[in-house]
Structure 1
């Protein structure tokens, strides 16, 4: 497997772990010095360390019934970067459906996810998770 395929494989494994609600596996796929940036101006927007991301994932998992499934729509890889379009699907414990579209930019280092930029529809996040 070449480096580009290996990098896409890391991202695929991350998406699979999301779909299985396997927070331990997600965290294990993150580099010790990883950062994860979430777009928008929501309370969850901003940059997270690996430890902070784990706390966010636990909090998000508590809001959904099962898991947030991330289905990749396509990958583009160059060097140590993988761009991925994806669609999420989850049922929340409040009865709402979370179905968002994403663009992720992953930077891979030492076989782990080192940097993430996550772009999605923040208004959908707000409406599904934070509005009464």
Structure 2
């Protein structure tokens, strides 16, 4: 796939969350896909390496309950080889009424036209604060 095609795949992948379409995003991932969230799992259990099934469970517990979806807007992307680096910002009102507005750096690996791995760097303190409410 071309670098531009890989970048479009990543943009399309994140667009599913704004439509509350977690399954659509999962369908864009390889069967053996992984999702790593930066941070110490002992301090914040959402962090660490997750399988596709585990991240699906996590996303399904958060995204469908948002008021209008969790919009993840890519701000900048750079692609090289099979990887896409993406700076992004999210916005959504969670089921608990709190606004989730985080900033990210995602490193996404593409294989055979699908998402094979995601590495997510974010403000875990903001996430913990919004989820606790």
TM-score bin (small chain): over 0.9
Residue matched to 1:32: 31
Contact 2:62 2:94 in 1 (8 A): no
Structure 2 match to 1:122: 124
**In structure 2, the residue corresponding to 1:26 is in which secondary structure?**
helix
Question: For residues 127 and 25 of structure 1, what CA distance do their matches in structure 2 show?
Answer: 28
CA distance in 2: counterparts of 1:101 and 1:11, whole angstroms: 16
RMSD after superposition: 1.2
Deviations 1:14-54 (A, max 9, x none): 11111111111100111111000011131111111111111
Where does structure 1 differ by over 6 angstroms across 4 or more consecutive aligned residues?
A: none
Query: How many correspondences in the alignment?
Result: 130
Contact 2:3 2:80 (8 Å CA) reproduced:
yes
The equivalent of 1:21 in structure 2 is 20
TM-score by length of 1: 0.93
3-state secondary structure, aligned to 1:103: strand
Question: Which residue number corresponds to residue 6 of structure 1?
Answer: 5
Q: Secondary structure of 1:95's partner? A: coil
Please give the alpha-carbon distance, in whole angstroms, between the structure 2 residues aligned to 1:63 and 1:119: 23
Could you tell me the TM-score, scaled by structure 2's length? Answer: 0.92
